[in-house]
Structure 1
Amino acid sequence: MNQTKKELSYFRLKLEGYLRDHHPELVANSAFIGARTDLALSSYCDSVAQGFSHLEAEAMASEILYQGLHFSKYDTLVSILMEEFSEELPDPLPYRLAPILLGNKSVQAVFSKYELHDDFDGSPEYELLYTELTGTIVLLIEENHLPTLDKAEA
């Protein structure tokens, strides 16, 4: 039983760290975290019981732990802000602005047009999403008169 709690804590911490870095909108979703952690732990235990090494079992459990989480809206927004707005929004502003943009209705509407999946960032639709999000961010900055650094100030 003590060993089970240790693995459960390990998988929970591993998932929570990943969510903090790539899916901050899910960090407070304890039901999701609990369910995903339980699935990963069950996979790990089953794999070890079937004779897989601990490293192999952990790899299998990690697949379950991160399933559906490889594509990140947050990472996409940070990438756009860093690539397209690097002069106007220097580091660390993209990391601070991305969670705010995630909650914006216009940004949410853009994301909702696409069927997002683990390999989405390698798909042709990703470029369309990227372009549409960039345009939406430009409009949000202009319409809301958000302060940015002028290129001459940078």
Structure 2
Amino acid sequence: MTIQDKNTATGELSYFETALLFYLRESHPHMADDKAFIRERADSAAEAYEHAIREGLSVTQALELADTVLYQDLRFSRFDAVFEAVSEWFPEVQPERRTDFCLKVLLPAEAIFGKYPIDDRFESSPSYHTLTVELTGFIQSYIERYGI
């Protein structure tokens, strides 16, 4: 499958654009249509890769550096946290409706996420468990108030 981009000379996305787009579709679907962000981040990753290669690093090392740039501040996904809570605790949200429901809950849930110092390492912090408990309660209240 080729991903088309009418703004490039070939009409195809670069490797870094494609990798980021797939990741965003999975873990940050609310950002997947932000072509300017994707292009800017992919360009920065490509520059980091090229610079690393020029400095004599191996391809593997250069790709690791590029990935650091590409996925900076995207490792923790608020959408994934909501999706996991809904999948685990709310069987009444049918699998085929889960993504849409989670996207609907994501914006109101920002009040919960805003209480925590979230960064790329947040999921491994002690606060992550507290967030998931609070998030689950929030989702329960949301369903009681607005339904699915």
TM-score (norm 2): 0.84
Does 2:144 align with 1:139? no
Letter in 2 for 1:82: S
Q: Does 2:67 correspond to 1:62?
A: yes
Letter in 2 for 1:123: S
Work out which of the residue numbers 3, 17, 36 in structure 2 matches 1:31. Answer: 36
4+ runs of 1 displaced by more than 6 Å?
none
Distance 1:75 1:18 in 2: 11
Aligned equivalent of 1:97 = 101
1:113 alignment partner, one of 112, 115, 129: 115
Gaps of 5+ in 2: 1-8
> Within 2, Cα distance between the matches of 1:127 and 1:56?
33
Partner of 2:5: none
**Which digits, 9 at most, give the CA deviation of each residue in 1:75-132, with x for residues without a partner?**
001100111113x2232332231111113x3x12111111111111111111121111
Residue by residue over 1:4-38, the C-alpha shift from the partner in whole angstroms, topping out at 9 and shown as x without a partner, is: x89x7110111111111101121122332222112
Whole-Å separation in 1 of the counterparts to 2:62 and 2:86: 38
2: CA distance, partners of 1:26 / 1:64: 17
Measured in 1, the distance between the counterparts of 2:14 and 2:36 equals 15
User: Quick check: 111-120 or 72-81, which moved more?
Assistant: 111-120
> Which amino acid in 2 is paired with 1:127?
H
Structure 2 Cα separation of the partners of residues 110 and 31 of structure 1: 28
**Secondary structure, counterpart of 2:14 in structure 1:** helix
CA distance in 2, matches of 1:90, 1:30: 31
Q: TM-score, normalised by structure 1?
A: 0.81
Q: Is 1:19 aligned to residue 24 of structure 2? A: yes
Q: 1:124 aligns to what?
A: 126
Q: Aligned letter for 2:104?
A: I
Q: Which runs of 5+ in 1 are unaligned?
A: 148-154
1:136 to partner: Cα distance: 1.0
Q: Distance in 1 between matches of 2:122 and 2:74?
A: 11
Q: Larger Rg: 1 or 2?
A: 1
Q: Given the alignment of the two structures, is residue 83 of structure 1 paired with residue 85 of structure 2, yes or no?
A: no
